[in-house]
Amino acid sequence: MNYGATSFRLGVHGMPNTAESSVVERDIALAKQTRGHVHVAHISTREALEAVRNARKAKLRVSAEVTPHHFTLIDENVGEFNTHYKMNPPLRSVADRDALIEGILDGTIDVIASDHAPHAFHEKEVEFERAAFGITGLETMLPIALTVLHHHFKLTLWRIVELLATNPARIFNLTGRGTLAEGSTADVTIFDPKKKWTFDASQSLSKSRNTPFDGWNFVGRPVATIVGGKMVYEG
């Protein structure tokens, strides 16, 4: 988990912010030297985010993504060793979470990624330091983005679509993806941005239940999913 007051209280070895930011700064330096493109996955610290922001100002080919849990939760949510809040990179401080939200709002962050990591029951129901890293994320990614970013921080729906679909396709050169243009692959999610509902992990379509968002109230929900032109889900 994050190195800080909560890890000290629990007696758990912590991961400091510099473990992330130093590697991000190194990779940005390599991108500058080689004129290559570096994509920072699962960014979680304000220092790493600032490195990306500075690189973008310098016109370097740097992009970054964030997960819903990193712009929603903090290390204190671990409580008394709740393994549903154990992931890698770990949940960080309030200051880090707020910085990530600001990075989304100002355009520094390009992508929201689910970091979907399902685990069997026995992999999480063990001592905190032995538990597997990661949570399920596919079913809650869009609802969290809509509830937190759109409804609370007033990020536009168009920008939400960019973060979840258009930008990933553009950054990774996925031809025919992330667009509704004629001839594109018909992978489409239809959602109701005003639908109020409660996420019940016991009713999840995943075979795994390792989520910290069980019981959360959301505003915004997928109502249909089309994959390759075929309807695969209709709520």
Residues noted as catalytic = 115
Q: Where are the beta strands (DSSP E) in 7-117?
A: 38-40, 62-66, 111-112
Site of tokens 């994509």: 39
- Residue 220's region, left for phi above 0, alpha for psi from -120 to 50, else beta, is left
Q: Is 88 left (phi over 0), alpha (psi -120 to 50) or beta?
A: beta
Nearest alpha-carbon partner for 90 in 24, 10, 16: 16
Please tell me the distance from the alpha carbon of residue 13 to that of residue 128, in angstroms, as a whole number: 11
